[in-house]
Amino acid sequence: MDIKDLEMRALDVREDIISMISGAGSGHPGGSLSCADILCALYLGGIMDVSPDAAADPARDRFVLSKGHAAPALYAVLAHAGFFPREELKTLRKLGSRLQGHPDMRLTPGVDASTGSLGQGLSIACGMALGLRLDGNPASVFALLGDGECQEGQVWEAAMYAAHQGLDGMVAIVDHNGLQIDGAVTEVCSPESIAEKFRAFGWDVHEVDGHDVAALMKVLADAKAARTGRPQAVIAETVKGKGVSFMEGNAGWHGKAPDAEQTASALAEIRSARAERSCA
Amino acid sequence: MIAFASEEERGCRMATRAAYGPALTELSAEGAPVVAVDADLTGSTTIAKFAASSEENARRVFNVGIAEQNMTDVAAGLALTGKVAFTGSFAVFGCGRAYDQIRNTVCYAGLDVKICPTHAGISVGPDGGTHQMLEDIALMRALPGMRVLVPADHAAARAAIKLAARTSGPVYVRMGRAAVPCVYAQDVELEIGRAYVLREGADVTLIACGVEIEEALKAADVLAAEGVSAEVVDAFSVKPLDAGTILASVGKTGCAVVAEEHSIIGGLGDAVSHLLAAEHPVPCECVGVQDRFGKSGAFEELMSAFGLDAQALAAAARRVQERKLSS
């Protein structure tokens, strides 16, 4: 898929995110929209070696959505990647749905780990990378964390251990959108500089615009291929609520569904961006 | 038929925790894909013995340092690549501190992680209340899908660890620091969901697990001298509980005492009381730590101070028998 197609897909994914959360009447639009381009690069841009036809293949790359509340973004991308019908996205958060409020590996095809309690995904990824290395399996493990999530101490337990073990098959991506429920991450309790912290723990650190799909593709491919003896961190500068102007940069949209009018306005904005992009 | 320790073996005392590392070595030799994640306690947990058993096994040991939350989720990640992952520590850290990790990552996904704390209860002794976990059975019992095993002796601990490895999904095996007498034959095989009658009796049933088995057997001797015949049941599988064996015994004796080295809240006592209330209400008393924290002291002193020794069990047995006879 070329970059322009990938950008168009990211707009489709944004549309799905808004529709799903609006339909569910609850969910986390801000942090789902901020990581949409990252997830598109991983699953639709071909960074990760995964396929719905080989969903349990031991040789596949793994992904852990440590910021599990961005489940709508993951579900939308998995549907676009063919793991289940896009139609099913409408069932998000509803009784009997395979699409739970937070990712459940036992229910949703393509989900490699159940997550939702923040701070745990990097440790899970670390265990996966150790298991793969023990088997001589060269598959890579990706984990996506929030910047607010980096306030959880366990993130740094895992960062220390991954570096100590030299787990270079592991890529941690931080969705650096700057906001958490109670406001700016730096005002609530600053974990900055996250990049410097990962460096200090012994990681290779890459920094990238998390909405520049071409740049993301390059950085993620580089990080996956690095194998320097050190784990790889990608700090992706993002905007919470990206693509819906009234949500952008507003912590109030962390965990709230848009009403009917807001949904219509958000979808109109995304569709107009798609129309503009397709003419470009 | 279950094999018990010989007269000679009964005289030897060993800690349940001593079974941990050697049992993993056995499992590895049998081809089980076991790995051990430890948090700076490889000597105390005996995982050092597993690591020392071969170069291959050394590669299967992951010491994360003093980081029990990471330990638990690293084990979860290893399980997600097809390993049977064991974690060990003091129960207060490996179970208590890592409760959220056990709940949301291990149990919610039903992963093959075996939580095997080697230091639980007041038998931890002089380290005191901060290190004496008395709520772990309650925490683990309440988790959907978690199996809870509390072995009485070294042989039962070995059997429980091997059972844990062969059972799909999360299992909690609670071990202890204190040396306890051998009850079972060294090569005994136990089953999840089974309780074992260690001594037959007609007047009162003593149901226990872990270090309380020794006290229950001693209490049965004390009661026998008074002409009271006590049946002793090892409910090592606290969850799932062997309702059949317990109800058969209580159906015969008509009263019960349940004993555990754990808080009276949420443990084996609650599990058995719940069963009896629903299926066969009879006079029943629970012996356990009475909603308090532990404290420093020698194991034997603490057993007496907290009312967990044979005398306390025998006294409870006399009371339930009296209630039975007066009703």
Report pLDDT digits (tens) over B181-224: 999 999 999 999 999 999 999 999 999 999 999 999 999 999 99
- Closest-CA residue of chain A to B37: A127
Question: What band does B241 get if pLDDT is binned at 50, 70 and 90?
Answer: very high
Half-sphere exposure of residue B220: CA atoms within 13 angstroms, side-chain side: 25
HSE-up (13 A, CA, CB side) for residue A261: 1
**CA dihedral for B51, B53, B58, B62, sign (positive or negative):** negative
State whether B234 and B171 are in the same domain. no
3-state secondary structure at position B15: strand
The answer to whether the Cβ–Cβ distance between B76 and A127 falls below 8 Å is: yes
Same domain for B148 and B238, yes or no, is no
In the predicted model, what is the mean pLDDT of chain A?
97
From residue B315, alpha-carbon distances to B223, B232, B249, B284, B306 in Å are: 9, 15, 20, 12, 14
| Tokens representing residue A115 in the block | 């997550």
Residue B190 lies in a domain: no
If DSSP codes are grouped into helix, strand and coil, which group holds residue B190? coil
B70 shares its domain with B111: yes
The verdict on a CB contact (< 8 Å) between B67 and A160 is: yes
Using a CB-CB distance cutoff of 8 angstroms, which residues of chain B are in contact with residue A137? 81
Domain ends where: B120, B152, B181? B181
Q: What is the pLDDT of residues A185-204, one digit of tens each?
A: 999 999 999 999 999 999 99
Whole-angstrom distance, CA of residue A55 vs CA of residue A57: 6
**DSSP 8-class letter at B294:** -
| CA distance linking residue A13 with residue B49, whole number of Å | 52
The span from the CA of A37 to the CA of B197, in Å, is: 62
Is the bond leading into B240 cis (omega within 30 degrees of zero)? yes
Establish if B62 touches chain A: CB-CB under 8 angstroms. yes
Q: Which pLDDT belongs to residue B213?
A: 97
Q: What percent of chain A has pLDDT over 90?
A: 98
Regarding whether B119 and B39 lie in a shared domain, the answer is yes
- Partners of residue A106 in chain B, C-beta under 8 Å: 109-110
Per the CB < 8 A criterion, the answer to whether A64 and A271 are in contact is no
Which site among A157, A160, A164, A201 would you substitute to test the B interface, given the most B Cβ atoms closer than 10 Å to its Cβ? A157
Q: How many C-beta atoms lie closer than 10 Å to residue B65's C-beta?
A: 14
Query: Which of B37, B74, B101, B102 is best to mutate for the A interface (most A CBs within 10 A)?
Result: B74
State how far the Cα of B152 lies from the Cα of A7, in Å rounded to an integer: 62
Last residue of a domain, one of B118, B151, B181: B181
CB of B315 within 8 A of CB of B142? no
Report residue B118 as tokens: 């080697």
Look up the CATH number of the domain holding residue B236.
3.40.50.920
Alpha-carbon dihedral sign for residues A110, A114, A118, A120:
negative
Contacts of B61 in chain A (CB under 8 A): none
The pLDDT value given to residue B10? 85
Cα dihedral B159→B162→B163→B168 (10° resolution): 170
Query: Which of A80, A79, A47 shows the shortest CA–CA distance to A215?
Result: A47
CA distances from B284 to A23, B37, B269, B295 (A): 53, 40, 9, 28
Nearest to A43 by CA among A80, A8, A92: A80
Are B227 and B283 contained in the same domain? yes
Candidates B73, B87, B103: best to mutate against A (most CBs of A within 10 A) is B73
Torsion sign across C-alpha atoms A154, A160, A161, A162:
positive
B-chain residues within 8 Å CB-CB of A164? 65
Q: How far is CA B177 from the centre of its chain?
A: 12
Flag whether residue A145 sits within 8 Å of chain B, measured between CB atoms: no
Confidence bin at A278 (pLDDT 50/70/90): confident
The answer to whether position B4 is within a domain reads: no
Residues B165 and B290 in one domain: no
| Rg, chain A, Cα only | 17
Which B residues, 98 through 127, put their C-beta within 8 Å of a C-beta on chain A? 100-101, 103-105, 108-110
Is B148 found in the same domain as B117? Answer: yes
Look at residue B7 and tell me whether its pLDDT is greater than 90. no
User: Does A115 lie at the interface with B, CB-CB under 8 angstroms?
Assistant: yes
Q: How confident is the model at residue A166 (pLDDT cuts 50, 70, 90)?
A: very high
Contact yes or no for B70 and A157 at CB 8 A: yes
Estimate the crossing angle of helix B68-79 against helix A121-134, to 10 degrees: 50
Inter-chain touch B104–A116, beta carbons under 8 Å: yes
Query: Hey, is B200 helix, strand or coil?
Result: coil
Residues A148-168, mean pLDDT to the nearest whole number: 98
pLDDT of residue B28 exceeding 90, the answer is: yes
Q: Model confidence at B9, in pLDDT bands (50, 70, 90)?
A: confident
What is the bridge-based pairing of β-strands B113-115 and B84-88?
A: parallel
Flag whether B87 is in a domain: yes
Q: Which residue of B has its CA nearest to A115?
A: B105
- DSSP label of B272: H
Residue B1 domain-assigned? Answer: no
Helix B154-166, helix B20-29: angle, nearest 10: 40
Q: What contacts A176, CB < 8 A, 6 or more positions away? A: A147, A194, A210, A235, A236, A237, A238
Are A124 and B73 inside 8 Å of each other by CB? yes
Is a pLDDT exceeding 90 seen at residue B259? Answer: yes
Mean pLDDT for the stretch of residues B134-156 = 98
Residue B1 has pLDDT above 80, yes or no: no
- B266 and B143 within one domain: no
| Alpha-carbon Rg for chain B in angstroms | 19
- Domains, chain A, ordered by start: 3-279 (3.40.50.970)
Tokens (6 digits) for A118: 């923040």
Q: Is residue B186 part of a domain?
A: no
Q: For the residues B168-193, what does the mean pLDDT come to?
A: 96
- Per residue in A43-87, pLDDT (tens digit) is 999 999 999 999 899 999 999 999 999 999 999 999 999 999 999
Contact B218, B259 (CB under 8 A): no
Same domain (yes/no): B172, B214: no
Phi, psi (rounded to 5 degrees) for B181 = -65, 155
Query: What's B104's domain CATH number?
Result: 3.40.50.970
Tens digit of pLDDT for each residue in B98-144? 999 999 999 999 999 999 999 999 999 999 999 999 999 999 999 99
Asked whether residue B2 is domain-assigned, the answer is no
Residues B255 and B279 in one domain: yes
**Nearest CA-CA partner of A118 in A174, A164, A162, A201:** A174
Q: What residues of B are annotated to the active site? A: 68
Q: B121 in a domain, yes or no?
A: yes
CA-based nearest residue in chain A for residue B34: A131
* Chain A residues with CB-CB distance to B64 below 8 A: 157, 161
Interface check A128 vs B, CB under 8 A: yes
Which residue among B149, B181, B213 closes a domain?
A: B181
Relative orientation angle of helices A213-226 and A3-24, to the nearest 10 degrees: 100
CB contact under 8 A, B60 and A134: yes
Domain range for B256 is 196-326
Q: For position B209, what pLDDT does the model report? A: 98
Residues B15 and B149 in one domain: yes
Instruction: Determine how β-strand B34-38 pairs with β-strand B196-199.
Output: unpaired
Domain count, chain B: 2
pLDDT above 90 for A277:
no
* B64:A161 CB<8 A: yes
Residues B162 and B14 in one domain: yes
Which of B35, B80, B101 best tests the A interface by mutation, with the highest count of A CBs <10 A? Answer: B80
Nearest residue of B to residue A160 by CA position?
A: B64
- Whether A55 contacts chain B with CB within 8 A: no
Which residues in chain B have their CB less than 8 angstroms from residue A114's CB? 104-105, 108-109
**Residue range A27-37, pLDDT digits in tens:** 999 999 999 99
Q: pLDDT tens, A201-260?
A: 999 999 999 999 999 999 999 999 999 999 999 999 999 999 999 999 999 999 999 999
Per the domain annotation, does B98 fall within a domain?
A: yes
Angle between helices A71-80 and A3-24 (to 10 degrees): 130
